[in-house]
Amino acid sequence: MTDVKRMRAVLLRMAALLRRSGHGGWAEALDQRRGELSRDALAAAAAIRSWYGGTGGLDRVALDRPDAEFEALRDELLFMCAPFPIDAPIPPLRRVEGTVMRLHCGRCAADFPGFAFADQAEPEADGLACAASREADELVLAEPEPEEQIAWQAGGDLRFARRLAAEYGRPDLRVQRRRERPADGRAGGVSLRRARPAAGASVFACVRCDGESRVVGELSVEEFEAAGGRVHTVGGLYR
Ligand SMILES: [Zn+2]
């Protein structure tokens, strides 16, 4: 087991090539193992090794046309999943806890979920992030890479969101962002805002229109999932 990041990239690319050749079942299997890598990389590697050898094995799958890239990746994957030597430690997993927020956008009236990390007034500072789907009741909890965090804290470049889109094939994910609370009106001035948030209430950016969204409810992850929502953890996090 050498490099989980590389394994992820290899599995992603192989799945794309398999799908293109009509091997959707195999592609699905590769995706599943890729999802499992962050939770239990050793188990994922063992499962992948078991695909090799035998009549219905991954090493017997033939694409539409001979594909040197696919064959090289297939060999590399087996090599990376070899049980020995373990020459790079697998980074420790980090447990996340928290509750699901129900958010409502004051501009476009969208309702969408968010995540409040337990004991984290500013999860950004501690390298934790949540992304919500624009289309489904779904959350992804992740740890952005340091350089993604820097770009994200600067507020402009959403490299982290782009990676989620590329790595997981999910362009619908929007990274949860706090918005500055509306400025106080000048002394004696009249605020045109209908309602100012209570002190300490957080305002988030809407996943659809970027408008100000407020917390209208809070529930446990279990309650959220029982109601059809989904919470995924990726990249070294678990819950
Ligand atoms: Zn909105």
Read off the pLDDT of residues 125-162 as tens digits, 9 standing for 90 and up: 677 889 999 988 999 888 887 778 777 767 655 778 88
Mean pLDDT of 10-23: 94
Mean pLDDT of 33-58: 87
Rounded Cα distance, 83 and 52, in Å? 14
Half-sphere exposure of 204 (CA within 13 A, CB side): 27
Considering the chain, what percentage of its residues have pLDDT values greater than 70?
Answer: 82
Å from CA of 8 to ligand 1 middle? 34
Å from CA of 213 to ligand 1 middle? 7
Q: Which two tokens stand for residue 76?
A: 């590399």
If you average pLDDT over each of 42-56, 139-153, 170-184, which comes out highest? Answer: 42-56
Å from CA of 178 to ligand 1 middle? 14
* Residue range 86-135, pLDDT digits in tens: 444 555 677 888 999 999 999 999 999 999 998 777 776 677 889 999 98
Query: Three-state SS for 203?
Result: strand
* Residue range 60-71, pLDDT digits in tens: 999 888 888 898
The residue length of the chain stands at 239
Rounded Cα distance, 78 and 14, in Å? 12
In this prediction, residue 4 has a pLDDT band, given cuts at 50, 70 and 90, of: confident
User: Is residue 202 within 8 Å of residue 102, measured between CB atoms?
Assistant: no
Å from CA of 175 to ligand 1 middle? 14
Q: Which two tokens stand for residue 13?
A: 């690319």
User: Is residue 74 within 8 Å of residue 216, measured between CB atoms?
Assistant: no
Å from CA of 205 to ligand 1 middle? 8
- The set of residues, in sequence order, having a beta carbon less than 8 Å from that of 82 and lying 6+ positions away, is 1, 49
**Does an H or E element contain 160, and which?**
helix 159-168
In this prediction, residue 182 has a pLDDT band, given cuts at 50, 70 and 90, of: low
Higher-scoring residue by pLDDT: 189, 121: 121
**Does an H or E element contain 146, and which?**
helix 146-153
Residue list, CB under 5 A from ion ligand 1: 105, 107-108, 110, 206, 208-209, 211
Rounded Cα distance, 112 and 102, in Å? 6
Å from CA of 198 to ligand 1 middle? 20
